[in-house]
Amino acid sequence: MPSLGGETFPVLDPVTNEPYTRCAAGQSADVDRAVGAARRAFAEGPWPRLKARERSRILYRIAEGIEAADARLAELEAYDTGLPITQARGQAHRAAENFRFFADMIVAGHEDAFQVGEDQVNHVIRKPIGVAGLITPWNTPFMLESWKLAPALASGCTVVLKPAEWSPLSASLLPEIMAEAGVPAGVFNVVHGIGEEAGAALVDHPRVPLISFTGETTTGRIIAENAAKHLKALSMELGGKSPCVVFADADLDAAVDAAVFQIFSLNGERCTAGSRLLVERPVYDQVVARVAERARNVRIGLPGDPDTELGALIHPEHYARVREYIEIGQREGARLVAGGDRPQGLPEGNFLNATVFADVKPTDRIFQEEIFGPVLCVTPFDTDDEAVELANATAYGLAAYIWTNNLSRANTLAREIESGMLWINSQNVRDLRTPFGGVKASGIGREGGRHSIDFYSESHIVHTAL
Ligand code: NAD
C-alpha cells in the first residue's frame, strides 16, 4: 500500500540486489494520521482501561497468532533480510515468548503502598504514558519489533511502529495478527518509510510522548537531539563492539564454539556479537588457528537453503561498508587469517566469506568501530589488567563475555568491564526478566522485565489523609 501521497521506495532482494517490491514511503501526513488513530484509541478506547487480565488474554492470542504464522514469517524474514532460514525459524517463537512474558508480568504486577504515621497513606498507581513511538532496525526485525510492542501494549499504551526500510516484509503480518487477536482498532499502527522521513516525523510528533529506538549509535544521537525539544522519554538500544575475553585456563572448546557462533550466526548482524576476541597470550596462536579453521568451514549459501549457516548481508550499501572495513583492516596491517572475500558460485548479492583478522591493534579502526557483519577481530593480552583495558578501549559498552575456569577472576573482571550485560562461560542465554541495554555509546536506559513496564508507564503517587 502506498503512502497517502502515493510515495513508495524499492525493496531489494539481498541475494540478487534486484528490487522485488515497492514499499510505502510514509511521510509526516501518514505519521500524523497513525498518531491520530493511536491517540483516539488511547483517549477514548478500552485498551488502557482494560483489566490487566483482559489485556493479557489478548496478548496471549497475539502470541498464538505469531506462532501460527511461524513458517510464513521465517520465509519472509529469510527472503527480506538474507538470514539463513534455519536461524529465521526461531524468531517467531522468541517473538511469541515476548508477548506471553509481558502478558504474565502485568497480571502478576503490583504497586507499593506506604503507611505514613497513623493518619496518612500513600499509594502508587501505574498509568500508561500514551502513544508509544517504536523505531526498529533491520536485524531480526520481527523479533525486535515484538520486544517493544509487547511491553508497550501490555502497559496499556497504544503504538505507532516504524519498521526499518531495508526489511519491511515481516511487519506487514502484524496488522492481521493483531486484529484477529482482538486488539481494538487504533491501538496498533504501523507506518513504513525511510528513517529520515517517517522515523523523523514520529520523533517530531507532539502527541507521541516517548520513543523507543533500536539502531545505530549515530542515528540514536540524531533522534535524541530531535526529541529533546519535546522532552520525550527515550529508550536507546544502540550499537556494540563487544569483547569476548578468553583466558588460557578456559574450556577452549566451549570458548571457541561460542566465539564462532557469536560472530557468524545471524550473518554477524547481531548487536551483542562478540566482535573483538581478546585472547591470553599462551593460547593465542592456538585460538587464532582454531577460529580461522572454523571460519573457513562456515557454509555460506542461499538464505532459503537449510544447510546455509551464513546467508546474504542485508543490503548492498551495508555490504559495501563491511567490505570497506575489510580493506581498512588490511591497510592497518591486521593479519587476515580467514575469508575477506566473496564466495564463488553464488548470485550477485551480498555474500561474504566468514572473516577473521588476527593481531588487531587497539588503535585500529576495525577494533574500534562496529562492523555489524561476519568479521571477527582477534587481539592478544598478557595480564588481567590489560584484558580489562582492552575490553574497555572502545566507545561502546553493550555486552561482554569472559571465558575462564577461575570464577573469582571472572567476577573481578565483571565489575571492571564497562558493559550493560556480561556473560561468564556462557553466551546470550538471557532470561526475559533481566535488564537489557548498554552503557557508553551503546545506549540509554534498560528494557526487559519491569524495566520495560517502567518505561511505558508513569508511576503516579497518591497521598491520602485517613
Ligand atoms: P539505523 O540506525 O540505520 O536504523 C534504525 C531505525 O531508525 C530504522 O527504522 C530507520 O529507518 C530509523 N531511522 C533512521 N534515521 C532516522 C531518523 N533521523 N529519525 C528517526 N528514525 C530514523 O540502524 P540499522 O542499521 O537498522 O540497525 C543496525 C544497528 O542497530 C547496529 O548498530 C546494531 O548494533 C543496532 N542494534 C542494537 C540493538 C540493541 O539492543 N542495542 C539491537 C539490534 C540492533
Q: Judge whether residue 465 has pLDDT over 70.
A: yes
Of the pLDDT bands very low, low, confident and very high (cuts 50, 70, 90), residue 5 is confident
Question: How far, in Å, are 46, 108, 242 from residue 214 at the CA level?
Answer: 29, 28, 17
> Which residue is listed with cell 486488539?
183
Which residue's CA lies nearest to atom 18 of ligand 1? 196
The Cα 336–Cα 330 span in angstroms is: 7
The Cα 334–Cα 376 span in angstroms is: 11
pLDDT at 326: 98
Question: Which pTM does this prediction carry?
Answer: 0.97
In the predicted model, what is the mean pLDDT of the chain? 97
- Beta strands, E only, 13-148: 19-24, 113-116, 120-128, 131-135
Cα(137) to centroid(ligand 1), Å: 4
Cα(287) to centroid(ligand 1), Å: 33
Closest atom of ligand 1 relative to the 218 alpha carbon: 2
% of the chain exceeding 90 in pLDDT:
98
Q: Judge whether residue 77 has pLDDT over 90.
A: yes
Cα(200) to centroid(ligand 1), Å: 12
Cα(60) to centroid(ligand 1), Å: 28
Q: Judge whether residue 171 has pLDDT over 70.
A: yes
Q: Judge whether residue 183 has pLDDT over 90.
A: yes
pLDDT at 90: 87
Which residue's CA lies nearest to atom 15 of ligand 1? 195
Which residues fall within 8 angstroms of residue 206, CB to CB, at 6 or more apart?
A: 230
Closest atom of ligand 1 relative to the 137 alpha carbon: 26
> pLDDT, tens digit, for every residue of 413-462?
999 999 999 999 998 788 999 999 999 999 999 999 999 999 999 999 99
Secondary structure letter of residue 2 according to DSSP: -
pLDDT at 2: 73
pLDDT at 429: 86
Which residues sit with their C-beta closer than 6 Å to ligand 1? 135-139, 144, 162, 164-165, 195-196, 199-200, 203, 214-216, 219, 222-223, 237-240, 271, 370, 372, 398, 438, 443
Lowest mean pLDDT among 2-11, 297-306, 347-356, 452-461: 2-11
Residue 419: phi and psi, rounded to 5, are -155, 150
Cα(381) to centroid(ligand 1), Å: 33
> pLDDT, tens digit, for every residue of 225-262?
999 999 999 999 999 999 999 999 999 999 999 999 99
Contacts 24+ apart (CB under 8 A), 231-234: 232/203, 232/208, 233/129, 233/209, 233/455, 234/210, 234/444, 234/445
Which residue's CA lies nearest to atom 9 of ligand 1? 164
Which region holds residue 110: left if phi is over 0, alpha if psi is between -120 and 50, else beta?
beta
Which of 28, 98, 136, 139 is the pocket-test mutation for ligand 1 (most atoms within 8 Å of CB)?
139
Which residue's CA lies nearest to atom 28 of ligand 1? 215
The Cα 378–Cα 395 span in angstroms is: 18
% of the chain exceeding 70 in pLDDT:
100
SS3 247: coil
- Concatenate the DSSP letters of all residues of 354-398 into one string: -EEEES--TTSHHHHS---SSEEEEEEE-SHHHHHHHHT-SS--S
Burial class from Cβ neighbours inside 10 Å (0-12, 13-18, 19+) for residue 191 reads: buried
Angle, helix 52-68 to helix 70-81, in steps of 10 degrees: 70
Q: Which residues are catalytic?
A: 237
Rounded to a whole number of angstroms, the distance between the first and last alpha carbons of the chain is 58
Which residue's CA lies nearest to atom 39 of ligand 1? 237
pLDDT at 427: 85
Which of 23, 202, 271 is the pocket-test mutation for ligand 1 (most atoms within 8 Å of CB)?
271
pLDDT at 423: 97
Instruction: Write the single-letter amino acid at 361.
Output: K
> pLDDT, tens digit, for every residue of 339-386?
999 999 999 999 999 999 999 999 999 999 999 999 999 999 999 999
State mean pLDDT over 9-18. Answer: 97
Closest atom of ligand 1 relative to the 443 alpha carbon: 41
Closest atom of ligand 1 relative to the 318 alpha carbon: 25
Angle, helix 281-296 to helix 252-264, in steps of 10 degrees: 50
The Cα 65–Cα 63 span in angstroms is: 5
Which residues fall within 8 angstroms of residue 215, CB to CB, at 6 or more apart?
A: 135, 136, 137, 164, 237, 238
Report ipTM for this prediction. Answer: 0.97
Q: Judge whether residue 1 has pLDDT over 70.
A: no
Cα(113) to centroid(ligand 1), Å: 39
Tell me the longest C-alpha to C-alpha distance in the chain: 80
Which residue's CA lies nearest to atom 21 of ligand 1? 199
Burial class from Cβ neighbours inside 10 Å (0-12, 13-18, 19+) for residue 254 reads: middle
The Cα 223–Cα 200 span in angstroms is: 7
